[in-house]
Each structure stands twice: as structure tokens, then as C-alpha cells.
Structure 1
Amino acid sequence: MTPEQLTKAYRTMVLIRRFEERTGQLYGMGLIGGFCHLYIGQEAVVTGVQMALKPGDKVVTSYRDHGHMLATGMEARGVMAELTGRATGYSRGKGGSMHMFSRKENFYGGHGIVGAQVSIGIGLAFANRYRGSDEVSVAYFGEGASNQGQVFESFNIAALQKLPCIFVIENNRYGMGTSVERSSASRALYKNGEPWGIPGLQVDGMDVEAVHDAAQQAVAHCRAGNGPFLLEMTTYRYRGHSMSDPAKYRTRDEVDEMRRTHDAIERVRHALLGQGVEEQALKKIDDEIKTIVTDAAEFAQSSPEPDASELWTDILVEA
């Protein structure tokens, strides 16, 4: 990647990291309620994939979704306001952490049901093909969801119909307290599409350049009308499965080792410095991101709560 591309990736990844850190703080203060799943550690995955897409391509993901929202271009203010349940949030304060959408940015959710978004992803791909466009859809899901029945049903339909859908498995090694070794008989998740003839790649999901390269290959495959593609991103979440998870199923030494030797943001930082980018330029980005996140947190706390009448809106669409 060029210095310009790496700088863009660095900015996006730092934004996601700082946003999620502040989200964790607000949750601890009781300002965010309900379920909340942080993306800290996995920033390179959505950043690298998103940089391989073009306007019009569609994204759908699971409940660990704040990073995906920011990477697709949704504003930090609106995302944070939704987390605090305010009327200025992307779902008017009614969706919370797991259920935000943006038609403008072609982001079709956050979904709380494990694996359900994969079927939606192939639906979006079908719509793209039906309309005769070369747009693709990207369906993100975790290794825990990779053995859900609807995922394999989606593989079958996508391959049968040659749908332009990229399946991205964010393998962060642990589901809700269970390691992938204990939950999956498959040790190579990128091969899970082989029975349907779906090509796959295993990628270092802590390396944004590797992610970007693999995503470009998958996008080219789909745009050419060759059907779906499967990417397994080996990544790592630094925090628990959700804010209520103390993550006692792994050691602190394991987490510290990953942070010290594989952190995606530090890898990009070192790459940029090696390409001659000044330390001051990176500090300027860091300061800008800090301002954006601080502003988003203040906006989310000062915005009004939804009016009671909102209980009856967005329930039924007359077609």
C-alpha cells in the first residue's frame, strides 16, 4: 500500500480504537445500556476490506459492529448517540449497539441473531445481480457463527446462483467463552465453502495490507461474475466477548503478548515511519481523532432522548 493508503488506514483504525475505548468508558459509567460488543484489536479487518470496495457495495455484519459503521463512513456522533439511546442516533435511539443502519453508507446492520446476517448478505448480493450492477456485498461473521446452519444454506444458494457475495469470517479465536478449537471440527475455516466450490483464503487479519490484498482479490472475483468468495481473517479481540464478559477463559499473558507483537495499529505506524512519514504527522492524526471522539461522546450525552411517540414509528412499511 502507498503511504497515502496506509495513512488512510491508520486514521480509520485509530478512530475505531479510540471510539471503542470511549464506548467502554461510557458503558462503565452506566450511560450505555444493554448488550455491547467492542471491536478493539480487530480494526485491520474491516479497514482493509472497506478500502477494497467502491461506493454502492453493501455491508452487513453481526452485533460487534461499531467498527464497521465507522469504516463505512457513518459519523461518530450518530453512532455514539445511538449507543446512548438518543434521538440523534442512526436508529433514533431505538436500535442501540447491535441494530444500527445507514442506507446512505450502504450499511445494512448490526444483527443480534448469530449468523442471521449471512443470509441477508446473499440477499443483498442477489439484489445487486438482479439490478444488473457489478456491486458486491460483504457479509461479516465470526468463527462462532461459522457453523450455524443458515451459513451453510447461504453458501449453497450463493454458489448455486453465482451471487457476488464476499463472506468474511472474523476468526478472533474465541466465541462467547469457548475457543475455536473446542467448538469447530474444521481447523481451516476458509475451506468451509469447498463443498460448494467457493474459493477461500486464510489471511492475517492483524495486517491491514494483507487484508486489503486479499479483499481486492475477492472483490475482483465477485465483480467478474464468478460467484462468492470466502475470506478467513485470523484476528484477536483484546476485550471480552461483550462488556459483561470477564474473559477468564484465557490468560492475561496471552492478551499482552498479542498486543505487544501483533497489534494492527502499531504495525501500520511502524510501516509509515519506515516509509518516511513524520512522527508529527501521525501525532496530528491522533489528536484529530481524540477531538472527534470527545465531541461524539459529548454530543451523545447532551442529545435529547426519543419522544414516546417513537414507539409507534418504523414498525410497518406500506408498500
Structure 2
Amino acid sequence: METFESLVRAEFAPENTYLNTASNGLLPARAVTALNEAVRLRAAGRPLDSLFEDVEAARAAFARLAGVPVTRVAAGATAAAYTGVVAASLPAGAEVLTAENDFASVVNAFHVRGDLKVRAVPLERLAESVRPGTALVAVSAAQSADGRIADLPALREAAREHGARTYVDFSQAAGWLPVEADAYDYTVCVCYKWLLGPHGAGFLVVPEDFGGLTPILAGWVAGENPWDSCYGPVAELARSARRFDLSPALFTYTGLRHSLALIEELGVDAVHAHDLALADRFRAGLAELGHEPLPAPGSAIVSVPGLGHRQPALSEAGIELSARAGNLRASFHLYNTAADVDRLLDVLSG
């Protein structure tokens, strides 16, 4: 029987100490193999039907991870595009509540509308700031800059009390933090971080009744019968969330299908426990070195003030992290080990 460790060892062999999943996840070997096979398929001029099947297999896998029926999942490319769809659904003058300094893809579309009332508050005050007249609350489940986790249950209750809709971005959470997409009106997630997929795939989860969204980005793939929807206006939009599909990056979805299969085999709960143990080991080591990370309890992302300037030297030493807002950001995922944490601490200690 394969263990967590043996499954991971079979899929990953990084050439450095890679602690930067919050920017880009590593590709598992099975996804690399699938990508190569897809490229050869196209180079040989063979039919690409199997690649479209991969899109559906990836959609189904994400639906299982998100805990929703597959009919509620749209397949696209970026969070920003789907934020635009949500933003376009709001009437002029509607109030949108966001967290201060959240990732641009989650908030920018509401600002560029120009006719919405966008209000930003500290993340820890988000739930208490929902008020009568708030139309939508948009937030990342885990903050990109520092890993802080939003109090989503409190937000859900506050939104329900005041009749507001909720839009949650799980891009920095799905893959290590359990996702309950059914608890929110709309959720979005890109897949090249903790879900270990190639760039160019993302999913939007919508209510069964589509929650008032209009498929303003719909093309032929959004038709109930896509191959009959290639010319002229789409005669019949898909009766499921596929009406919000964007033309898929086929190679990307082929790789993603296999990446998601690995996440399912390992189990999000096991990945969660593994990632948090490493993050907590790093936090404890930082305390011994006299450094205090930004508070982000329960997060696999750890940001350390005042150390962002050390990122280039760490990269030269073969340790990959990010510098964000002057902070050194480390993010720990399933392919990382205690030895990775200790090597980082050793280099930081000088």
C-alpha cells in the first residue's frame, strides 16, 4: 500500500528547496507525462477529442474537491475573468464589500466598473462590516500577501442576515484547505498553485439557478451542444454552469486532470496536516532566531516582516521563496519536508 510519502516521492524531485507554492505549484510527474503526450498528439495531427475529455474529467475532480455537483462548475482560465462576470451582474450603485489589500484579481473588476460603491475594510472586520444594503462581499479564503485565513463561517452568517451575496476566491486555499463551495453564492479558483496544475485553468462555482449571472464571456463552448454552436449566436446556452465556460487551454486541462487526481489520492485532510506541521515548524524556528511572522494562525503561508530583501540571496542559495510587500513569504506544500524548513532556517541564521 502506498503511503503519503511514497506517493509524493514518485511524483516530485525538485532541484532546489522549493517553498513558493503560493506563487506556483510544482507539476507532478504524471502531469508532465500527460502534457508531453498531448503535445505529441497535436504535433502528429491526430484528433484532440481526448483532450476535451480531460476538461470534463478535471471539472468533475474539482467538483468533488469543492463538494458541489459538477453541473455547478464552469471551466475557465483566470479568476479575474470570472470576477468580471460577477461584477457585471451588479446594478449601478450596488455596494461591494472587500478586504483591504486583497489580491487584485478578486477586487479590481468592481473598481473599474466606476458605478459601484466599493468599500474595503480590514480582513478581521469583514463579517462585522456587512450591513443593510451590502450587495456582495468578495474575499480570498487565504490572503496571498501573508496567508491570513478569512473567517468564512462568520462572513456567511453576516451575509445571510443582511441579504448579501458572497464571492470567495479559493486560489490560495484549495488543495491544502478544505473547500465548501456550497456555502457561498460564487466561488472561484485558479489551479496553478496548490492544485499543482499548469497555468491557464480556473473554475467558477455558481448556484443551481446561476445566481443572476449573465454569461457575457460565452462562446461556442458555452452552448448546450458546443459543436452545433460554432457559427452565429449560440442558439441554446448550456443548461448547467458550462454556460460560463471559456474556450479551454487543452494542454493545461490535460495536465490538470492528473494533478487533481493526485490531490484526491493523497486527501486534502492529509495535505492540510502535512503543510501546517511544516509551517508551524518554521514559525517555531523563526521565534528562536528572534523573528516574528505576521499573524496567520492555521495557515500554510508564513510571511516574515523585514526579511523580503533576502529573497534574491536565498534564491542564489537554491531556496525559492517570494518577497511580498517587504516581507519574506514562505509557503509549504505536500512535496516539502522538515529538512526543507531546517535548511531555510539555517541559511536565515547566517
With normalisation by structure 2, the TM-score equals 0.30
More strand per residue: 1 or 2?
2
Q: What TM-score, normalized to structure 1?
A: 0.32
Larger Rg: 2
